[in-house]
A and B are shown apart, each in its own frame.
Chain A
Amino acid sequence: MAIRRRMARFWGRLVNFVRLPWYRRLSQSQLLLTGALLGIGLATVYSAIASDLRKQLISATLGLLVYVAAAFLDPKRLLRATTGLYIACLLLLLFVRVHGHSALGSQRWISLGGFQVEPSEISKLMLVIVLAKHLGQPGRVGLRRVVTACALAAPPMLLILAQPDLGTAIVFGCVLGGLLFVAGAPRLQLAALGAAAVAAIPMAPHFLHAYQRQRLEIFLDPSKDPLGAGYNLLQARIAIGSGGVFGAGWLHGLQGSLGYVPERATDFVFAVFAEQFGLIGCIVLLTLYALLLLSLLRSAAIAPDPFTKLLVCGVALMIFAQVVENIGMNIGILPITGIPLPFVSYGGSALVTQLAGLGLVQGLMLRRRLVVHSALRSDEYLLKLTA
């Protein structure tokens, strides 16, 4: 009896003694939020360019199938397949360099049966999985692991920079830094990495193509070229601002529908959204994103092992970085990069990747597991059980 009580007290620190059926184990909030964001996204794409809705619906359906498939995926299998995924992604990125289609000055896409596939989007999720596995191995995250993590992230990042796709490279950087942070890398090393990144900023223009440099310049002073590159920025801001508090109403956003906002279904779809739904709509959207992210973080908090936790954090970082960068560039506080707004921007690869990531999270949530390790730290799920 005493042993049982001791066991219960011991286990009680780690688990809630509640048995939940599978549909209660799912993160319902994440499902709802994903559904809501997807719905808003489809409505916004339709209001921007009506003809894009069809392809986006197909992508969404595909994405939901992938979501379900990812939820059923055995994490052990995923762990085993990581190396293969990594190599496959590198090959895809190389293939894009050789055979890819260009748009807006960068070579990003491969055509597969009528659909444009963007390997850089897929490689975001791939990076998350790879880094999660690497950093989630047992043991302290020390200098060696930090360095090898950076080394793992470097090749795809460089390939993407060479496309050139500055935005995705920045997301890669955020994911890398964020995962190192959450995984527990020493503060000093993180600070050093951060300093290196900051020091690289002035050097960066030399590695940028002319149009990317121009974008930075225009960002710093949009009035420099109001009829040219600064035009995008100004038009987006004008569209957002003209939405006011309540917005013009769905399908009544004139700046968007008349084509004054450039890239209105992709990069600047937020401006189209903001014009129609106003400040209130924007706050609602931001809240939805925030709630999704917080829900993901809670999932990370109850993640049974480091790999899961890092995977969930990685997905959250992916979404977070893209949301901040895209909305930031729409409202003019960040330079323009070609980052899509998750769930909203027209683009099949990004949508499917995000849904795949969320599906993986759900899958991991469905299987409540504890990994048995030996360690004494409280922020790892350590269970020292002796016989």
Chain B
Amino acid sequence: MIELGRWVDLGGLEPRARWSARLLAFAVLVLAAVVVLAGRLFQLQVEDGRHLAALAQLSRVHKVVLHAQRGIIYDRHGQQLVINRPAWTLEIVPYMLPVAEGQRSAELSWVAHVAGKSPADLQKQVDKSDGLTPIVVQRDLPDQQAEVLTERLPQLPGISLQQVPVRNYLDSTLLSHVLGYTGPIDGEQYAKLASQGYQPDESLGRAGVEQSLETVLRGKDGWANTVFDAQGQPVKVLKSQPAVNGDNVYLSLDLGLEKASDQYLQAEIKKVKVAAGAVVVADPRDGEILALDSYPGYDTNLFTKGISNAQYKQLLNDPGHPLYDHAVQGEYPPGSTFKMITASAGLQEGVITAGSSLNCPLGMTFGGWYYRNWAGYDMGFMNVDYAIAVSCDTFFYQVANMLGPDRLAKYASAYGYGTAPGIELPNVSAGLAPTPAWKSSICSGPPTSWQCTWSLGETITYGIGQSDILTTPLIQSMYISAIANGGDLLRPTLVHEVDTASGTAVSTAKADVVRHVPVSPDNLNTVRQGMHECMDNPHGTGYWFRLAKFLYDGGCKTGTAEFGSGANQPTHAWFTFFSPFKNPQVVIIVLVEGGGEGDQVAEPVALQIAQYYYAHQAQIQGGVVK
């Protein structure tokens, strides 16, 4: 029949299924496994489903900051003074770095090498971080390095290059004090400003207009909820709010006039071999500053990148103090330019009149001390306007003597001495109008000593702008503008117009009267006449203007202010000027620090500036060209 072990072909007959116990057990195991797996899936997808979906969303979607562009600063005609240059910042995102130790350290050391840092430092930074916040490795990468990195970026997980706008100042040295610079926010500032939305690695204005108009220029960052893939590449934007760019500021400065002023000032400073000086050109009708120059300046672009210690030391040690704004911060004795205040006070207080005639000898004695005139000869009797024109010291000694320090201080304060002008710059100096009360309040020493009691000599020299009086070129411009425009002390302003990023005007400059000087129109006219004579009278200290064939009329006053002590004292050279005489449009203040005689050193500079102004008058007075 059929042998053992032989195959028998059933020819298509189907055997019956014989489920052994073990086979059944296997089948049950299969079913049990399915149930267990399904149960766990239920747990994950139904119970924890929403939570896990939210986690998924969290890891995928991040809020990306859309940086607002900082507002652009222009001069009054729309010439751009600053650009937002795109710069590359190298960042590491720690949680995206490769996990394998060897790959991780290889990547970090390569990045460190490219960025010029030590790998050990970088590793420390990464270890210290919380894993999620990006670490800035280097700002403002040179373009070449940025290119190299961009090429290799896909093979470098965790490394990213961010494009950030960086301020680049055109004419950085010329406008260094006006514009200032932006720099990274420091710890304590961040603590105060974080509530306003500042990021810890943001830049903000650190000096000049950048600092004082920070809120105007800054704009508001936007955000975008972006979906990222596992490589950190953005895939899609879900919701976003665009950034609002900062407002653009049109300064009242005329760039041409500023350049010219700086040029002339620089030439004169080098000629007399001193270190520093300042020029202020203002419009006495509305207080707009047409030129504000302090020499020497410094390269603000160095600060935006991060200045080296060596360079900073160099700036600090420069005898001209480039970091110091001489026009706005430098406090100097006004010298003879103060005489218009003495005259105003004398006229207004009635101790002299327009017609009063006082002697101008070569010297006078007060309280036992002999005070000289600058001229080595008697000038005879004169009235106040001639005294201003020829800058007679002894005339004004007498007037000061009659007035006393308190009244002089009152008028000095009225003309702006002792109050910081409200110009849009930080750290503006206030000058000083001293009084006996002031002196005794600040003195160090016994109350009866010479340090604490006011002496007659101080009153005498008060009249000619010496002793403890201090002014700044900016305050001088306010004071001369007040005389020029008939008595309105105007707030000086650097801002001509502010526009939104799209071009609509937010605010335009208007004359802002701080006070009306308490001098009657007639008295003021007398003082103005004195300044007019300064230029037109052959004996006037400003007559050089006529000799140089200056065609326009106006008023001027020289100043040669002594400072320091000892024989052969150096003097600051001042020159003040306004023009035309009726309805003045321009006020020019020139200061050459330690330069010598006002009429010899400061006057030529003012003459050149005035000639430039008139040559380009229509242009300068013209409005914004957008």
Interface residues in chain A, defined as those with a beta carbon under 8 Å from any beta carbon in chain B = 13-22, 25, 76, 138, 178, 181-182, 184, 227-229, 231, 235, 237-245, 254-255, 257-260, 274, 278-279, 282-283, 286-287, 289-290, 293-294, 297-298, 300-302, 304, 313, 316, 320, 324, 327-328, 331-333, 367-374, 378-379, 381, 383, 385-387
Contact = CB atoms under 8 A, between A and B. Distances in A.
B450 to A, nearest CB: 75
B143 interface: no
Nearest to A309: B23
Contacts of A302: 14-18
B227 A331 contact: no
Contact of B14 (A20, A138, A227, A374): A20
Contacts of A22: 12
Contact of B227 (A228, A258, A298, A332): A258
Given A238-B56, A368-B13, A372-B6, 10 more contacts: A20-B12, A25-B12, A254-B60, A302-B14, A368-B9, A368-B14, A369-B7, A369-B9, A372-B3, A379-B21
A300 B23 contact: yes
Given A16-B13, A242-B56, A282 B4 contact: no
B60 A181 contact: no
A14 B15 contact: yes
Contact of A237 (B1, B7, B19, B44): B44
Contacts of B4: 372-374
A244 B45 contact: yes
B64 interface: no
B583 interface: no
B27 A297 contact: yes
Contacts of B56: 238-239, 241-242, 254-255, 260
B55 interface: yes
A71 B227 CA distance: 50
A15 B15 CA distance: 4
Nearest to A20: B12
Contacts of A331: 37, 40-41, 44
Given A25-B14, A371-B5, A379 B44 contact: no
29 contacts: A15-B15, A16-B14, A18-B14, A76-B7, A228-B99, A241-B44, A242-B52, A242-B57, A244-B46, A245-B49, A258-B235, A260-B60, A260-B229, A260-B230, A274-B45, A278-B45, A283-B38, A320-B29, A320-B30, A331-B41, A332-B44, A367-B9, A368-B14, A372-B4, A373-B5, A379-B22, A383-B2, A386-B1, A387-B1
A258 B229 contact: yes
B45 A245 contact: yes
A258 B40 CA distance: 25
B51 A229 contact: no
Contacts of A333: 36, 40
8 closest residue pairs by CB, A with B: A241-B52, A259-B230, A242-B53, A258-B229, A379-B20, A301-B17, A242-B56, A244-B49
A287 B99 CA distance: 38
Given A20-B12, A302-B14, A238 B55 contact: yes
B374 to A, nearest CB: 81
B563 interface: no
A63 to B, nearest CB: 23
A333 B36 CA distance: 10
B264 interface: no
Contacts of A369: 7-10
B99 A227 contact: yes
Nearest to B52: A241
Given A294-B27, A369-B8, A371-B5, A19 B48 contact: no
Contacts of B23: 182, 297, 300-301, 313
B231 interface: yes
Contact of B30 (A21, A228, A260, A294): A294
Contacts of B11: 19, 368
A241 B60 contact: no
Given A324-B33, A331-B37, A368-B15, A138 B5 contact: yes
A234 B141 CA distance: 37
A301 B8 CA distance: 18
B154 interface: no
Contacts of B227: 254, 258
Interface residues of B, number: 60
B26 interface: yes
Interface in B68-98: 95
A175 B440 CA distance: 105
Interface of B: 1-23, 25-27, 29-31, 33-34, 36-38, 40-42, 44-46, 48-53, 55-57, 59-60, 95, 99, 131, 227-231, 235
B10 A15 contact: yes
B44 A19 contact: no
A240 B46 contact: no
A176 to B, nearest CB: 14
A282 B1 contact: no
Contact of A241 (B25, B51, B99): B51
Nearest to A305: B7
A385 B2 contact: yes
Contact of A286 (B17, B38, B52): B38
Contacts of B18: 301-302, 378-379, 381
B45 A240 contact: yes
B41 A255 contact: no
Contact of A259 (B2, B99, B131, B231): B231
A371 B13 CA distance: 14
Contact of A287 (B7, B34, B49): B34
A16 to B, nearest CB: 5
A371 B41 contact: no
B53 A244 contact: yes
Contacts of A371: 5-8
B5 A229 contact: no
A241 to B, nearest CB: 3
A242 B44 CA distance: 8
B31 A290 contact: yes
Contacts of B235: 258
Contacts of B42: 279
A317 to B, nearest CB: 8
A319 B40 CA distance: 20
Contact of A293 (B3, B12, B30, B49): B30
Contacts of B33: 320, 324
Nearest to A181: B22
Nearest to A244: B49
B13 A240 contact: no
